[in-house]
Every structure is written in structure tokens, then in C-alpha cells.
């Protein structure tokens, strides 16, 4: 009798241990995410919808993984069609996927209650390149990154821009303004060629990549510009010391006067370099504007270039607000050209303009990229009259 009881207990123990082993083999620890779940093995994901499938693929791509497994449970869609669409969405519509994925392949197997998808991913960028992408917001963020590229004298930059729907042409326009905002970096005004790529082409969140192609090595260009910056800084310091401001800080009019007095004349075939213009050589409109922009920057006067219908000019900050400054206002005044006191200055010799005044002269420019130049005093006086 005892032997029968012992045998029965042994059978029950074996049966229970067998059941436990069966349960252990089917056990998974699952961490739930939006529309998909990560199992205990991070190379295996679980999804039940199309969006979950897309997010699962992005999980592997964002982790720069070369492969992984997705198990589709309770999936009611067309698996093959949805996989093809999800792959295209990741490779051509997602910023990081469009920027970094070279190709993405998959194989599908039906396993009892689910579909098992094996992914293989190859990349055109390293994980370090992807992780190094700085994220910026809006038009201002894009301009900031392009300015960083130029002032840092780099030959390439890539960054992730959110809330920016501009096209390649707008990025090129912003890059040109960034170059023109660095008058001391004269080589940046004559780049051999530039390549601008957007990943993806359309949308409000893209990776923007800019490459500058120099005719010589970037190191040689940087050294040449470094030497030029030092010479320009010395020349500007000498002129400012010789022409002290009447007030606590220099006005736009005073700095324009220094440029007019320093340049050796206005000549469309003259020098385009700020240093030469401040050193007495005949200068082109471009050279005069670069000289004026540099002096403004040195004296803490807010200034930025404008590329409009009539070429290049500047917008400067004054106590009355922002104003347009045309190159004609910087032309050196020759003897006999000074207007009599009772006469109004000729239009071409006027220094500062509001938006309305330039529009009346027929000028056009991308106003959305620049500050408004409005005569606030006149507008307030007009409003006061209307109220009265």
C-alpha cells in the first residue's frame, strides 16, 4: 500500500513539473508602448495594428539596429501590402529613416496564431551621425544652424528641423543670408558650389543637410579667413579710434560717414572686400555694404543683409526702429556734391528708408525673412489724429 501511495505522489510531482515547464516555455515579459510592445527580448516586438507595425519598424531604425522580429497578433489587415507601405513610410516619410536607411527588407512567416516578420536593415549613415543631429524649431532655428555652419567655417552640417515647411530654395536663400551676415569671412561669399538635401523633401519635420564645396581645402580656406579677420579687425579699430562717436555709442549715420570717408570711391568693378574698402580702395556696392555691416557688428548695432530685387542692401536698427540702408547712401561724397542746407537730399543720397518708402521706389524683397521697417512715430501721430 505504501509503495502505491509513493508511486502516485511521484507521478503527480512529475506531472506538475511538466506543466510548469510548459508554462515557462510560453512565458514572455512584455513592456507596452503606443501601438506595439517590446518583449523580454528587445529584438522581438509585438504589434496588432498598421500603426503599431510602423512604430515597431521605427523602433529598430531609431535604435540603429540591423535587424529584428515583429510578431503580428490579431492582425486583420493585408500583411504583405501593409508591410510594403510601412517600409516606404519609414524610408521615405520619416526624417531619420529617410536620412539614414539604405535599404530595408523583410520576410514573413505564419506561425499558428500570429505572423512573424524578420527585418533586415542597412544604413547609409553611422549611429554617431544620426545621434549627433541637433534638433531645432522653425525658421529661426534653421537660420541659427546655418549661421553656426558659416561662422564655424565648417564644410558641412546636418540637423533635424521641426515646424519648418520650407523647400530647398528657401534653405539656399537662408544659407546665402548667413554667408552675407559674416562680412569678415570673405571666402564664404564665393563658395565653389553647395549641396542642400532635405529628408524627406516635404513635410514639417525634416533632416536638413548642407555641404559646401570649396575650390581648395577647408583648412586652407579657414586659415586664409583667419588672417583676413585679424587684418580687418585692426583696420576697423584704427578707424573707430580716429573717429570717436559724439554720443555714448556710434549711430548708424556716424558709421556710414566713416565708410564714405574711408573708401576710395564707388566703382562697380571695385573691390568687394570690406578690408579694402576701409583701406582707401575704390569699392563696389558689395564692398561698401560689407564694410558697413562689419562696423555695425563691431559697434553693437543690429544689422542684417537683404537680398532683394535691386541686389543687396542692409537693414539696421535705429532709435526710431528698423530701417533699410541702400548702398547709394555709402557712396563717398566728392567735392561739389554736398547739397545746400536748404535743399532736400537727393533720393539716391538718402541713407535710411522705411518699408513704405522702398515700396514706393519700386523695391521688392522677401519681407517674411526680415524685420518690419515702419515709421512708428508717424503711425502714432496719425492714430492720434484719427482718435481726436
Cβ–Cβ < 8 Å for 153, 88: no
Task: Indicate whether 14 pLDDT > 50.
Answer: no
Instruction: For CA atoms 287, 292, 298, 301, give the dihedral sign.
Output: negative
Task: Indicate whether 19 pLDDT > 50.
Answer: no
pLDDT number for residue 318: 96
pLDDT tens string 195-240 = 999 999 999 999 999 999 877 787 888 888 899 999 999 999 999 9
pLDDT number for residue 334: 65
pLDDT number for residue 20: 39
* 232-236 own/partner pairs: CB under 8 Å, 24+ apart: 232/184, 232/274, 232/275, 232/278, 232/294, 233/184, 233/298, 235/275, 235/278, 235/279, 236/278, 236/294, 236/295, 236/298
Cβ within 8 Å of residue 67, ≥6 positions away: 43, 60, 118, 119, 120, 121
pLDDT tens string 149-169 = 999 888 899 999 999 999 999
pLDDT number for residue 385: 53
More reliable by pLDDT, 80 or 348:
80
Cα–Cα–Cα angle for 99, 101, 105, rounded to 5 degrees = 155
CB burial readout 205-236, b (16+ within 10 A) else e? bbbbbbebebeeeeeebbeebeebbeebeebb
What the block records as the C-alpha cell of 24 is 515557462
Quote the CA–CA distance of 177 and 371 in Å, as a whole number. Answer: 14
Cβ–Cβ < 8 Å for 300, 312: no
CA distances 213 to 9, 125, 216, 325, Å, are 82, 20, 9, 32
Cβ within 8 Å of residue 238, ≥6 positions away: none
Cβ–Cβ < 8 Å for 355, 372: yes
pLDDT tens string 307-332 = 999 999 999 999 999 999 999 999 98
Cα–Cα–Cα angle for 88, 118, 70, rounded to 5 degrees = 80
For the entire predicted model, the pTM comes to 0.81
CB burial readout 133-155, b (16+ within 10 A) else e? beebeebebbbbbbbebbeebeb
pLDDT tens string 262-310 = 998 889 999 999 999 999 999 999 999 999 999 999 999 999 999 999 9
DSSP letter assigned to residue 172:
H
What the block records as the C-alpha cell of 51 is 500603426
Quote the CA–CA distance of 115 and 73 in Å, as a whole number. Answer: 7
Quote the CA–CA distance of 117 and 267 in Å, as a whole number. Answer: 70
pLDDT number for residue 222: 84
Task: Indicate whether 30 pLDDT > 60.
Answer: no
Cα–Cα–Cα angle for 309, 314, 318, rounded to 5 degrees = 135
Task: Give the number of residues written for the chain.
Answer: 388
Quote the CA–CA distance of 278 and 282 in Å, as a whole number. Answer: 10
Quote the CA–CA distance of 311 and 304 in Å, as a whole number. Answer: 14
Give, for 270, the enclosing helix (H) or strand (E). strand 266-271
pLDDT tens string 76-121 = 999 999 999 999 999 999 999 999 999 999 999 999 899 999 999 9
State the chain's mean pLDDT as an integer. 86
Task: Indicate whether 52 pLDDT > 80.
Answer: yes
Cβ within 8 Å of residue 352, ≥6 positions away: 252, 316, 318, 323, 324, 325, 329
Pairing type for strands 321-325 and 101-111 reads unpaired
What the block records as the C-alpha cell of 153 is 567655417
Cβ–Cβ < 8 Å for 102, 125: no
Cβ–Cβ < 8 Å for 200, 98: yes
Amino acid at each position: 500500500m505504501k509503495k502505491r501511495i509513493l508511486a502516485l505522489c511521484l507521478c503527480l510531482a512529475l506531472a506538475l513539473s511538466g506543466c510548469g515547464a510548459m508554462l515557462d516555455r510560453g512565458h514572455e515579459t512584455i513592456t507596452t508602448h503606443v501601438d506595439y510592445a517590446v518583449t523580454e527580448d528587445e529584438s522581438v516586438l509585438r504589434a496588432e495594428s498598421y500603426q503599431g507595425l510602423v512604430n515597431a519598424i521605427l523602433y529598430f531604425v531609431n535604435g540603429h539596429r540591423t535587424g529584428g522580429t515583429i510578431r503580428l497578433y490579431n492582425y486583420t489587415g493585408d500583411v504583405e501590402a501593409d508591410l510594403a507601405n510601412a517600409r516606404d513610410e519609414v524610408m521615405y516619410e520619416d526624417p531619420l529613416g529617410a536620412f539614414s536607411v539604405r535599404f530595408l527588407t523583410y520576410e514573413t512567416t505564419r506561425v499558428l496564431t500570429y505572423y512573424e516578420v524578420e527585418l533586415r536593415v542597412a544604413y547609409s549613415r553611422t549611429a554617431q551621425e544620426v545621434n549627433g543631429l541637433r534638433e531645432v524649431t522653425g525658421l529661426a532655428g534653421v537660420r541659427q544652424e546655418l549661421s553656426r555652419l558659416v561662422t564655424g567655417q565648417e564644410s558641412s552640417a546636418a540637423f533635424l528641423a521641426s515646424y519648418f515647411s520650407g523647400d530647398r530654395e528657401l534653405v539656399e536663400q537662408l544659407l546665402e543670408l548667413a554667408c552675407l551676415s559674416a562680412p569678415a569671412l570673405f571666402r564664404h561669399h564665393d563658395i565653389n558650389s553647395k549641396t542642400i538635401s532635405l529628408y524627406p523633401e516635404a513635410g514639417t519635420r525634416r533632416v536638413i543637410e548642407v555641404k559646401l564645396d570649396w575650390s581648395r581645402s577647408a583648412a586652407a580656406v579657414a586659415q586664409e579667413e583667419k588672417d583676413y579677420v585679424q587684418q580687418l579687425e585692426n583696420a576697423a579699430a584704427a578707424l573707430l579710434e580716429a573717429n570717436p562717436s559724439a554720443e555714448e555709442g556710434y549711430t548708424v549715420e556716424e558709421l556710414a560717414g566713416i565708410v564714405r570717408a574711408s573708401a576710395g570711391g564707388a566703382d562697380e568693378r571695385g573691390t568687394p572686400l570690406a578690408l579694402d574698402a576701409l583701406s582707401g580702395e575704390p569699392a563696389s556696392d558689395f564692398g561698401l555694404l560689407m564694410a558697413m555691416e562689419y562696423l555695425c557688428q563691431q559697434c553693437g548695432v543690429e544689422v542684417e543683409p537683404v537680398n532683394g530685387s535691386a541686389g543687396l542692401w542692409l537693414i539696421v536698427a535705429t532709435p526710431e526702429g528698423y530701417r533699410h540702408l541702400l548702398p547709394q547712401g555709402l557712396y563717398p561724397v566728392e567735392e561739389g556734391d554736398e547739397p545746400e542746407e536748404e535743399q532736400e537730399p537727393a533720393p539716391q543720397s538718402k541713407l535710411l528708408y522705411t518699408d513704405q518708402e522702398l515700396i514706393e521706389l519700386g523695391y521688392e524683397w522677401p519681407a517674411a525673412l526680415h524685420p518690419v521697417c515702419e515709421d512708428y512715430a508717424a503711425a502714432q501721430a496719425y492714430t492720434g489724429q484719427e482718435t481726436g
